[in-house]
Amino acid sequence: MTMASAGFIFLLLLMVSVSLQNASDAFIQVDCKKENSGQYGQQSVVECVIRKSEEVKDLTVSRVVWKKDGLILLEVHNNQPRSMAGYSFAEPSWNNKSLNVSLLIANTAVANHGNYSCMVMTDSGLDNKSTSLRVTAKYGKPSIHTTAANTTPSSQVTLTCRSQGGHPKGQLSWFEAPNGQLVGNVETAAEVMPNGLFSLSSELTLPSGRDASNYTCVVRNARGGKDDEVTGTIPNAGHVKGLGQDPKAKNTDLATKVVAPLIVIGSMIVGLLFLVFWKKWCKREDWAPQPGTDPEQGSPQHQLLGSPECQETNVSGDAA
Ligand SMILES: *[C@@H]1O[C@H](CO)[C@@H](O)[C@H](O)[C@H]1NC(C)=O
Ligand SMILES: *[C@@H]1O[C@H](CO)[C@@H](O)[C@H](O)[C@H]1NC(C)=O
Ligand SMILES: *[C@@H]1O[C@H](CO)[C@@H](O)[C@H](O)[C@H]1NC(C)=O
Ligand SMILES: *[C@@H]1O[C@H](CO)[C@@H](O)[C@H](O)[C@H]1NC(C)=O
Ligand SMILES: *[C@@H]1O[C@H](CO)[C@@H](O)[C@H](O)[C@H]1NC(C)=O
Ligand SMILES: *[C@@H]1O[C@H](CO)[C@@H](O)[C@H](O)[C@H]1NC(C)=O
């Protein structure tokens, strides 16, 4: 009896001490949403709230620290909240009685994607939890550019599809437009732009001698959802052969259509300006030989260099 009861009492004491330990740890607890999501360029909230057990009647928060990658974003110390620019409490009038300690990010950037920790210290205990923010951005409408490959005589057609401004990394895929059949084995290249968003491109190479056809390029986000699509028409085989003889004409990019006329207009303006100034200069040289009328104008060197040239053209002008 003595051995058994002693053992029983010991076990009972152990259980009480363990449950008491648990209870004191659980006076307060920080509860965070497992995965928060935010949109690029918009406000995001990383949600955490303080849960207190029933025994706690009045709770005062003495310290809060929000961290990401070792950097303190928001901190309450000595009843004074301090934060980096762009971060604040989601509750506009947060004070040391507020249990909602959610973090507000004013203008979500790609750098805000990742893991956060929230440490809370109160007069009834402390807790520290981690949570994550997933930053997404929708891909823009894709564009298709047509370029015939630089091979002769049987040239290929290459369609290039581009879409940018999305996050995380997405995928481009090609479909034959009338029947919607997927074109397999076309890779998507991804580049990170300075703002952290992705720029996707995919090249579809088609053999020559095929009928004009339409191809659809679809851009999908990281979770496989369709963000947008565009359909392009490739030039028919005859058209492509014609273009194949002049590699420069094959590029259908808008840039070449705009730049070529600009160069022509630009050189015409430069030519006209040259003519006007040159004529003026010649006239000045005509007046220059009479000294005394305007001593500041026309140095002797100018006269020596200028006069024969002007005369030369005057002669040729007379001849024509
Ligand atoms: C202590 O709390 C944890 C959860 O916080 C629970 O899983 C565990 O069962 C508790 N232990 C005791 C002895 O109550
Ligand atoms: C909580 O805030 C009130 C009013 O702002 C202040 O008087 C009090 O000292 C604060 N308590 C602590 C523990 O910081
Ligand atoms: C915390 O406050 C923010 C801003 O008011 C709100 O969006 C969020 O839903 C609140 N969270 C909870 C759990 O009440
Ligand atoms: C966030 O933490 C989890 C583990 O808790 C880890 O698997 C994940 O890679 C982390 N994410 C980032 C962006 O660091
Ligand atoms: C809270 O825990 C995380 C790891 O989960 C750690 O990086 C962070 O420094 C801790 N915060 C504080 C204030 O101790
Ligand atoms: C391809 O698109 C053009 C213009 O979008 C349309 O006129 C033509 O009918 C389409 N061809 C096929 C085979 O769908």
Assess whether pLDDT exceeds 70 at residue 36: yes
pLDDT in tens, 85-97: 999 999 999 999 9
Instruction: Report percent pLDDT > 90 for the chain.
Output: 48
Is any atom of ligand 6 closer than 6 Å to the C-beta of 177? Answer: yes
Whether the per-residue pLDDT at 32 is higher than 50: the answer is: yes
* Per-residue pLDDT reduced to its tens digit, 198-248: 999 999 988 765 555 789 999 999 999 999 999 988 765 444 433 333 333
Confidence at residue 197, expressed as pLDDT on a 0 to 100 scale: 97
- Is pLDDT above 70 for 63? yes
Does residue 159 or residue 20 have the better pLDDT? 159
Q: Is the peptide bond before 308 cis (omega within 30 degrees of 0)?
A: no
Closest Cα to atom 9, ligand 3: which residue?
Answer: 47
Position in ligand 2 atom list of the atom nearest CA 78: 14
Judged against a pLDDT cut of 90, whether residue 187 lies above it is answered with yes
Q: Determine the pLDDT at residue 134.
A: 97
212 lines ligand 6 (CB under 6 A): no
Lowest mean pLDDT among 180-189, 216-225, 251-260: 251-260
Residue, of 45 and 286, whose pLDDT is higher: 45
Whole-number pLDDT of residue 275: 63
Average pLDDT score over residue span 50-55: 90
Confidence band (pLDDT; 50, 70, 90) for 277?
low
Which atom of ligand 4 is the closest one to the Cα of 114? 13
Closest CA to 213 of 184, 239, 250: 239
Name the band, by pLDDT with cuts 50, 70 and 90, for residue 11.
Answer: confident
Q: Indicate if ligand 1 lies below 6 Å from the C-beta of 18.
A: yes
pLDDT tens digits along 98-136: 999 999 999 999 999 999 999 999 999 999 999 999 999
What is the phi/psi pair of residue 63, to 5°?
A: -155, 140
Write the residue with the smallest CA distance to atom 1 of ligand 4: 115
The whole-number pLDDT of residue 248 equals 37
What 3-state DSSP class applies to 249? Answer: helix
- Using the mean position of ligand 6's atoms as its centre, give its distance from the Cα of residue 145 in Å: 16
What is the whole-number distance in angstroms between the Cα of residue 79 and the centre of ligand 2? 6
Report the atom number in ligand 4 closest to the C-alpha of 113.
Answer: 13
Residue type, 105: I
**What pLDDT score does 209 carry?**
59
What pLDDT band is residue 264 in, cutting at 50, 70 and 90? Answer: low
- The pLDDT mean for the chain works out to 77
How does residue 21 score in pLDDT terms, banded at 50, 70 and 90?
A: low
pTM (predicted TM-score): 0.65
Strand partners, 226: 220
CA of 115 to the centre of ligand 4 (A): 6
Q: What are the strands, taking DSSP E only, across the chain? A: 28-32, 35-39, 44-46, 48-52, 61-68, 71-77, 80-83, 87-89, 103-105, 114-122, 125-136, 143-148, 157-166, 171-176, 182-183, 189-192, 198-206, 214-220, 226-233
184 in Cβ contact with 139 (< 8 Å): no
Starting from the CA of residue 214, give the closest ligand: 6
Report helix, strand or coil for 202: strand
